[in-house]
Structure 1
Amino acid sequence: MHETETPTVRGLTIKQPWAWAIATGEKNIENRTWKVPEKYIGATLLVHAGLRPARDAFLDERILSLPAMPPLLAAGKVLAVARLAGCHREKDGCCAPWGDADAFHWQLEDIRPLPEPLEYTGALSLWAPSPALLQKVQVR
């Protein structure tokens, strides 16, 4: 890969239970306050569960309407692989029920949960996974 090429795999740390909802394939929109850089549209995204949960989300009707959540959600682990298909600003209630108002909607497609979550330290923003993690996930 040349230095000017954009990496095709990035990780995104997401608080639980939202990461779980994505890994199950139920949630296909990730809400962010910032627009994903255009160069990452089409990239493979590793869905990483952060260490700290979004406590208020456990009472969110969208989460409560999903099939039973496991008693213990993974934290600090990569749960799934997805394709970052697009990103747009919320408009007129688009992307219901997962798209929040006043947010950028990151569209996720081809979501595939990993057979076993992989422990890994995430980071803010889009982060570059190590070659060892990519090998474990079998993504190039």
Structure 2
Amino acid sequence: MPETENPPVRGLTVKQPWAWAITAGKNVENRSWKVPQKYIGATLLVHAGLGLIRDAFEDERILALPAMPPVLAAGAVLAVARLAGYHPEERGCCAPWGDPDVFHWQLEDVRPLPEPVKYTGALSLWKPSPALQQMAQAIR
């Protein structure tokens, strides 16, 4: 099936614990850059990068989520979501997840995978392997 018939599948690498937070209810991803228009509606693979943001483990938004697993996956795809849209931050919109002075990427229909799938991520929006794309389309 040509890629034009289905929205594209792309990966988005997110540092922990924010990647896990997406699987637990975080529906806004904060980025310093706009989403290219062609990716609105795309299926996103939420990938946990290898890095951690240590301060985030004490963030009140993270602490308000259900109990975090004792070990967070790294270097793995954790969920599939739809990139519904984005907008620049506007006076505290998208609470509690939207941060100031960034673009708020709106995530919908987040579906955590039963088990993390080991995979190497990348910066920006990256194109996953055909097998990973098929897996994402099957979950959607």
Give your verdict on TM over 0.5: yes
Would you say how many aligned residue pairs link Structure 1 and Structure 2? 138
Residues 90-126 of structure 1 deviation map (CA, whole Å, 9 limit, x = unaligned):
0010000000000100000000001111000000000
Cα displacement (A) at 1:5: 8.7
**Distance (Å, rounded) in 2 between the aligned partners of 1:109 and 1:136:** 18
2:56 is matched with which residue? Answer: 57
Residues 3-43 of structure 1 deviation map (CA, whole Å, 9 limit, x = unaligned):
x899610000000111001012x100000000111110000
| Unpaired stretches in structure 2, ≥5 consecutive residues | none
1:12 is matched with which residue? Answer: 12
Say whether the 8 Å CA contact 2:30–2:105 is kept in structure 1: yes
> Would you identify which runs of 4 or more consecutive aligned residues in structure 1 move more than 4 Å?
4-7
Cα displacement (A) at 1:134: 2.2
CA gap of 1:135–1:39, structure 2 versus 1, over 3 A, is: closer
Say whether the 8 Å CA contact 1:6–1:40 is kept in structure 2: no
Structure 2 residue matching 1:51: 3-state secondary structure: strand
Query: What is the aligned-residue RMSD (CA, Å)?
Result: 1.8
| Unpaired stretches in structure 1, ≥5 consecutive residues | none
Structure 2 residue matching 1:39: 3-state secondary structure: helix
TM-score by length of 1: 0.92
Say whether the 8 Å CA contact 1:9–1:128 is kept in structure 2: yes
1:100 is matched with which residue? Answer: 99
Paired AA for residue 58 in structure 1: F
Paired AA for residue 16 in structure 1: Q
TM-score by length of 2: 0.92
Paired AA for residue 85 in structure 1: A
Structure 2 residue matching 1:73: 3-state secondary structure: coil
Cα displacement (A) at 1:49: 0.2
Question: Where in structure 2 are the equivalents of 1:38-53 lying within 5 Å?
Answer: 38-53=37-52
**Distance (Å, rounded) in 2 between the aligned partners of 1:133 and 1:57:** 29
CA gap of 1:112–1:139, structure 2 versus 1, over 3 A, is: closer
Question: Where in structure 2 are the equivalents of 1:100-139 lying within 5 Å?
Answer: 100-137=99-136, 138=138
**Distance (Å, rounded) in 1 between the aligned partners of 2:26 and 2:61:** 9
2:86 is matched with which residue? Answer: 87
Task: Please state which structure has a larger fraction of its residues in helix.
Answer: 2
Say whether the 8 Å CA contact 2:28–2:104 is kept in structure 1: yes
Say whether the 8 Å CA contact 1:84–1:106 is kept in structure 2: yes
